[in-house]
Amino acid sequence: MAGEPLVPRPHRATHRRAVLAILCVSLLVVSIDTTILNVAIPDIIRSLRASSSDLQWVVDVYAIVFAGLLLVFGSMGDRLGRKWMLVAGITVFGAGSAASAFSGSPAHLIAARGIQGVGAAAIMPSTLSVLTNVFTDARERAQAIGIWSGTTGLGVAVGPVAGGWLLAHYWWGSVFLVNVPICALGLVFMLWLVPNSRDPGAKQSDVVGAILSTGGMGLLLWGIIDAPSATWTSPRVLAALGAGAAVLGGFVVWERRSGHPMLELSLFRSRRFTAAIIAMGLVIFALMGGLFLLTQFLQFSLGYSAFGTGLRIAPIALLLLVAAPLSIRLDRKFGTKPVVFTGMGLVATGLGMLSFTTVHGGYAQALPAFVVIGIGVGLAFAPCTESVMGSVPIEKAGVGSATNSASLQVGGALGVAVLGSMLNTHYQDTLMPVLSHAHAPPGIRSLIEGSLGGAMEVATRVGGTLGAALAAQARLAFTDGLDLAVTVAAFAVGLAALAVLALLPNRAAPSGSHGPPAGPGTGGTPSTRRTERAITMSSRALTTTTAGDDPGGDSTRSTTASARRDAASAVGGGAGSEEPSTMPNTPRPAQTSTRSLLDPSPAPPVNTSASSPPSATTIDPISRCRR
């Protein structure tokens, strides 16, 4: 097998495109699942008699399991084989989807969603790892990564509309069941077409860290979600919050002492990395928390169908997709700080506009806020992502990418929990005196206080003037709670924007510091596309050998050569240049191992110019980038 190409020589380009299609469909299923559920919430409330707290868990358990296992499964795939981790992930995700579709109770649905999160955590890192091993040419790989990245945004946009269409024709379980045939078909093509690869030098998985992080976040969310029904000062809520904080503190201590941590805490020493991670986390906090509440407002308060709600939410995702490419151009021209600050300012402004929403205002009152939020998220998201990936060393790009993805999942889960609990607390406090005065039976009272959907169901059954009065009061309480929640979200994003203004560097650090070098003569960052290509592709090429191949074979040599070209482009190339002029004259050993490229020592002395001193040493571009 040594020296055999990564993919079969016949129809090689067609094979690569087929593999890319399989990977993108797998990722699309995962990304759609984060938003398709929102429009199904009213139907789930009616069918399963779920409370608002139950719904928060249905959304959050997926994100927490996803985030907690993402880094562990990424390293396991590197050691055991990325294809097999991808196969396992798509199988588990399909099984979790089927279990979710036929759930008969909120507890059953929550457990099934947790299984989906396990599968998603195995799928996402494996798709990118397989992609970077299949596309060994730098230009083709850049295009493939662009398509892969766009798939995530497409999933966010398609999810609510697809979910609304399914709910207009089928029952609520169809938003989960639709995943099953896609997963089954994808599994067949994965086994047939996707090549396997692994990193024999991959570090051991940090299982203890995964347990501590997932357990700590679970306890924290439990306290936050349970607070509206048990009160914020109840012993069980305080115990859950305290235990969650203690376990997360233990996680930090463990990561500092572990020889193979799942989270590289040293990365947070970089202001650029830390400020960008916090900014993205709070933007997703506001976006996912807001979408969770707004879909209920559009359906219960304004009376739109699930499909109509999906169409009316779509402007946020569509404008995000339009603004994201524009933000890259603005980042090159003005720098990261003003673009991210402007984007977060727009998000805070849009949330502030939503705080004036009323029951009688209609969709026309909310639409301008949706437009502003969509543009703001698009402007902030891409530059923050580039700041995170541009501030980590090349050999840690995989860790940086996984940390970035995990922070987004945690931010979204906290947004649903915190904003949802704030709304629920206000909703219940408003209705409690009314229900006490009406002497409602305990079962009916619990249903009304549990969610707006429950209150609307009771109002429909009661009918007449009393039912209409109950529905109006419940809508008013929910809308006032929504205004409060988005106001808090606006303040949080606004404060984060001020922190970005103070802490986030406007440009990448100069060469020799902790991050990619700035472009020559500009004092700023190099092209964002070139930086992302070099960081993402070179790091994975350095640590990859095809499973079963000899590390010194042709496949490995082609991969390492591609890595040298990518890294040299990031280090020595000016704006618009793809290859440094010195690379063709730089000799390399006849046998190059993957492990040797990770050695920080410089390359052997080479006399490249008559004007150079006899003892001059040509430094390997990868070593230069690491320094």
Q: Which fold has domain 11-203?
A: Growth Hormone; Chain: A; (1.20.1250)
For 485-499, write each residue's pLDDT tens digit.
Answer: 999 999 999 998 998
* Rounded Cα–Cα distance for residues 493 and 347 (Å): 7
**Minimal CA–CA distance to 296: which of 419, 165, 170?**
419
Quote the pLDDT of residue 608.
41
Tell me which H or E stretch contains 545: strand 545-546
Give the position of tokens 């429009």. Answer: 39
* Rounded Cα–Cα distance for residues 396 and 461 (Å): 59
Quote the pLDDT of residue 598.
33
**pLDDT at residue 438 is higher than 80:** no
| Least confident window among 175-189, 220-234, 275-289, 504-518 | 504-518
Residue of higher predicted confidence among 557 and 417: 417
| Least confident window among 230-244, 359-373, 398-412 | 398-412
| Least confident window among 153-162, 180-189, 297-306, 353-362 | 153-162
Type of residue numbered 537: M
Q: Would you give the end-to-end CA distance of the chain in angstroms?
A: 36
- CA dist 492 to 141, 282, 285, 498, 505, Å? 38, 7, 9, 10, 21
Give the residues across from 546 on adjacent strands. Answer: 197
- DSSP string computed for 171-201: -TTHHHHTHHHHHHHHHHHHHHHPPPEE-TT
**pLDDT at residue 511 is higher than 50:** no
* Rounded Cα–Cα distance for residues 185 and 507 (Å): 45
* pLDDT bracket for residue 93 (50, 70, 90): very high
What is the Rg, in whole angstroms, of the alpha carbon atoms belonging to the chain? 26
* Rounded Cα–Cα distance for residues 236 and 245 (Å): 14
Residue 133 structure tokens? 């091993």
Give the position of tokens 């051991």. Answer: 204
* Rounded Cα–Cα distance for residues 33 and 37 (Å): 7
- DSSP string computed for 373-441: HHHHHHHHHHHHHHHHHHTS-GGGHHHHHHHHHHHHHHHHHHHHHHHHHHHHHHHHHHHHHHHHHHT--
Q: Answer whether 11's CB lies under 8 Å from 422's CB.
A: no
Q: Give CATH superfamily name and number for 268-422+483-510+522-539.
A: MFS general substrate transporter like domains (1.20.1250.20)
* Rounded Cα–Cα distance for residues 284 and 581 (Å): 42
* Rounded Cα–Cα distance for residues 273 and 508 (Å): 11
Q: Answer whether 22's CB lies under 8 Å from 190's CB.
A: yes
Average pLDDT of the residues in 286-308: 87
Quote the pLDDT of residue 491.
93
For 155-204, write each residue's pLDDT tens digit.
Answer: 777 888 888 899 888 999 999 999 999 999 989 988 888 888 776 666 67
Type of residue numbered 281: G
Quote the pLDDT of residue 437.
72
Q: Answer whether 315's CB lies under 8 Å from 467's CB.
A: no
| Least confident window among 93-107, 279-293, 538-552 | 538-552
Quote the pLDDT of residue 470.
85
How big is the chain, counted in residues? 627
* Rounded Cα–Cα distance for residues 180 and 256 (Å): 41
3-class DSSP state for residue 122?
helix
**pLDDT at residue 341 is higher than 80:** yes
Positive or negative, the CA dihedral 502, 507, 508, 513 is negative
- CA dist 335 to 386, 432, 525, 536, Å? 12, 51, 8, 21
Quote the pLDDT of residue 202.
62
**Minimal CA–CA distance to 222: which of 208, 252, 243?**
243
* Rounded Cα–Cα distance for residues 24 and 149 (Å): 9
